[in-house]
Amino acid sequence: MRIIESILIANRGEIARRIIRACQKMGIRSVAIFSDADANALFVQEADEAIALGGNAPADTYLNFEKVLNAAKATEATAIHPGYGFLAENAAFATACRESGIIFIGPKADSIEQMGSKSLAKSLMEAHDVPVIPGYKGDDQSLERFTTEAESIGYPVLLKAVAGGGGKGMRIVEQPSQMQSAYEMAKSEAKNAFGDDAMMLEKYFERARHIEFQIFGDEHGNAIHLHERECSLQRRHQKILEESPSPVLSASVKEQMASSAINAAKALNYVNAGTVEFILTEDGQYYFLEVNTRLQVEHPVTEMITGLDLVEWQIRVAQGEVLPITNQDDIPQKGYAVELRLYAEDSMKGFLPATGTVLKWSEVNMEGVRYESAVQTGDDVSVFYDPMIAKLVVWAENRDAAFRKMHFVLGKTDCLGLTTNQDFLQYLFEQENIQKGVYHTRLFDETDILLKYQQEQSAAQIEPLIALSLFRWNQRNQKKHVLGNLPSAWRNNFYQPQFDKYQVGENEVQVNYKVVKTGFEISVNDQNYKASVLSTDEQSIRIQLNDAVKTYTIAGSGTYYVKESNKAKVTETTLLERLPLPEKEEIKGGYTAPMPGEIIKVLVEKGNKVSKGQALLILTSMKMENTITANADGSIVDIFIRTNDQVEAGTLLLKIEED
């Protein structure tokens, strides 16, 4: 048996912190590596040692073989844990670790390589009696061949990058007229993301569910599963919610799928942690999707229902130990677990990534609640990496109790200072079909859940603005040094109220307030309120508004973030000047960046004629690509950016003179 005394963590954020905790539990020295942007991150502070990589781009830092291996050698690390993403499923890196005499905490390189090719994986599973989706995975990569195969399989079909993952290089094709554009876009995205534009084709099941099984194997021939995870609630092929057990899986189908998962593990002679993913169709048939040869983002769901530490298991297996449990019937399963991913993204603007500073981060401390977070108050969320801020995980005796607890936790968690999907997540938990488990991978495509949410959120929130005005009044009142016996905002014209004007999205709201003996008289949009301040501190205020007592958390200055306790909704608002400022001139024909990020490619040149819908440039932020297209026919007059430029949201990119 090999003894692991120190582990270099070739990752960042919440998964790095998770691995550090396992190291501390086992008495293993942990070594972090970090980019310039992560120099002050929590995982760097918590590790026993830390090595700067220099730079920020993933290719210069967490994906750089040489830097990672040099850091491991410099710190005399016994092993490397890749976490997930970055180098976790890179067979060449696993081989390089072994050749350097460093233990790679993960599966064998040949398993990674076999499963890294979706077409090869599919062939291997077919040979071991694992049901696979009907499709095409041949060497002929011509558009004509894909069109012919799609006709044979029957629409709709799914184009997938052979080397893909994470939803990249995937396009649903519902009819023949869509094939050419989908084929070209999928190949381009795959080439940019993976350096390989090879594609495969599969039958697409429109209302399928995504169910996966956690597997584990060791070097002694043992292979087991640790039950299923339901991951069907997705947008753009990215998981939003994971839960276990599945709300729809019958005992007989679970047994069949679990058997197929074990067959997949044995086909690979699999060692360490992995996940076998399946789709479950409306008629109860299931098919193999892929094997993720790493620890999954959603592994805490399995840990919560089994009580097992999967990272500890990974380390023990990497040392050459036998699996802690080898008898399938001895794997525990108790209660219900749910996980949500809190992202820095704008649910009102197509889930575009957001950046900013976390001005207030506060977690709920209660039984059965677990956070896997990457941030603390004061941290910056940058454009360089994935926008996930934290994973929220709850456990309860049954599904209804777990969902109730998660709704409560979403309301109690404070994340202020940047735009997140927190309120959208709480909204999802209020939807009847999700509460009942009646959903599938295309729920957002086939329902108006997102549209209804956006319509509800577009209305300005009045009460948080009242709380903010009272909070600001109280701050001014406490700082007064002159005429201290007069309240803040006192006027010699008693009948004229004080006011604050706020911009909330597209809405401008004026809060009028007047100090009276009993507190405040307030009017907003012809609605009248009576209010009093019960207590306040640096970032919160407790008020009575008419008959209701409410507590609000507030962060920011100029631009404020206001959140009512028990609700996930954060109202972002800008305090407007009392006298209007000159309006910023809008450049006719100008195209601005919809989000902060890096210019990946400029597709046009000055003087080019362009047509409506034509791609102009590609911008990436937090691993998401966004193509800027022309709104009308015209000519390129000016281009203000270059490839590899870093831009902020609102930066002028180029100008078109319309025909």
**What pLDDT score does 188 carry?**
87
* pLDDT of the residue at 351: 87
In the structure, what pLDDT confidence band is assigned to residue 485 with cuts at 50, 70 and 90? low
Considering the chain, what is the average pLDDT of its residues? 92
pLDDT at 479 over 80: no
**DSSP codes, 409-467:** HHHH-EEESS--SHHHHHHHTT-HHHHTT---TTHHHHSSHHHHHHHHHHS--HHHHHH
Q: What is the pLDDT of residue 252?
A: 96
Each residue's pLDDT tens digit, 23-47: 999 999 999 999 999 999 999 999 9
Contact 491, 483 (CB under 8 A): no
Question: For the stretch 136-145, what's the b/e string if a residue is b when 16 or more beta carbons lie within 10 angstroms of its beta carbon?
Answer: bbeeeeeeee
Weakest-pLDDT range from 175-184, 322-331, 397-406, 582-591: 582-591
What confidence tier does 210 reach under pLDDT thresholds 50, 70, 90? Answer: very high
The bridge status of strand 360-362 relative to strand 345-346 is unpaired
Indicate the SS3 state at residue 23: helix
**Could you give the 3-state DSSP secondary structure of residue 21?**
helix
Rounded to whole angstroms, the Cα distance separating 508 from 604 reads 38
CATH of 6-105 given 1.10.600.10, 3.30.70.270, 3.30.565.10, 3.40.50.20: 3.40.50.20
pLDDT of residue 580: 54
Dihedrals φ, ψ of 349, to 5°? -130, 50
pLDDT of residue 195: 81
Confirm or reject CATH 3.40.640.10 for domain 590-658, answering yes or no: no
Structural tokens at position 643: 């490839």
| pLDDT tens-digit readout, 42-75 | 999 999 999 999 999 899 999 999 999 999 999 9
DSSP 3-state of 523? strand
Determine what percent of the chain is predicted with pLDDT higher than 90: 78
| pLDDT number for residue 648 | 84
Read off the pLDDT band of 594 (50, 70, 90): confident
Higher pLDDT residue, 455 or 84?
84
CA nearest to 314, candidates 16, 6, 22, 11: 22
pLDDT digits (tens, 9 = 90+) for 341-356: 999 999 988 888 899 9
State the Cα–Cα distance between residues 185 and 312, nearest whole angstrom.
41
Check residue 596 and give its pLDDT: 85
What's the rounded mean pLDDT across residues 585-604?
A: 84
What is the model's pLDDT at position 579?
56
* C-alpha triplet 586, 589, 591: angle, nearest 5°: 80
CB atoms < 10 A from the CB of 150, how many?
Answer: 26
**Cα(229)–Cα(303) distance, integer angstroms:** 11
The pLDDT tens digits for 244-261 are: 999 999 999 999 999 999
Cβ atoms < 10 Å from Cβ of 58:
18
Looking at domain 134-203, its CATH superfamily turns out to be ATP-grasp fold, A domain (3.30.1490.20)
Question: In the Cβ-directed half-sphere of 235, how many Cα atoms lie within 13 Å?
Answer: 17
Whether residue 488 has pLDDT greater than 70: no
**Phi and psi of 644, rounded to 5°?**
80, 0
Q: In what order do the strands lie in the sheet with 170-173?
A: 135-136, 199-203, 157-161, 170-173
* pLDDT tens by residue, 300-321: 999 999 999 999 999 999 999 9
pLDDT tens figures, 435-451: 999 999 989 888 999 89
**Each residue's pLDDT tens digit, 119-134:** 889 899 999 999 999 9
Alpha-helical (H) ranges within 268-353 are 299-306, 310-318
pLDDT in tens, 358-394: 999 999 999 999 999 999 999 999 888 888 999 999 9
Q: Determine what percent of the chain falls in helix, strand and coil, rounding each to the nearest 5.
A: 30, 30, 40
Q: Which residues, at least 6 apart from 451, have a Cβ–Cβ distance to it below 8 Å? A: none
- Class of the CATH domain delimited by 209-458: alpha beta
Distance CA 265, CA 121 (A): 12
Angle between helices 109-116 and 91-99 (to 10 degrees): 170
Separation of alpha carbons 297 and 304, rounded Å: 14
CATH for 462-575? 3.30.700.30
CA 470, 473, 477, 479 dihedral sign is: positive
Whether residue 235 has pLDDT greater than 90: no
Q: With 70 as the cut, is the pLDDT of residue 468 above it?
A: yes
Instruction: Report the C-alpha gap between 412 and 34 in whole angstroms.
Output: 31
Task: List residues with catalytic annotation.
Answer: 294
- Give the C-alpha separation, 195 to 193, whole Å: 6
CA atoms within 13 A on the CB side of 420: 31
Q: What percentage of residues in the chain have a pLDDT greater than 70?
A: 95
Q: How many Å apart are CA 345 and CA 389, to the nearest integer?
A: 10
Q: Which of 184-188, 236-240, 452-456, 530-534 has the highest mean pLDDT?
A: 530-534
φ/ψ of residue 102, rounded to 5: -110, 135
* Interval 650-654 mean pLDDT: 90
Indicate whether 584 pLDDT > 60.
no
Q: What is the pTM of this model?
A: 0.86
Domain ranges of the chain: 6-105, 134-203, 209-458, 462-575, 590-658
Digit-coded pLDDT (tens) for 83-107: 999 999 999 999 999 999 999 999 9
**Do the beta carbons of residue 254 and residue 336 sit within 8 Å?**
no
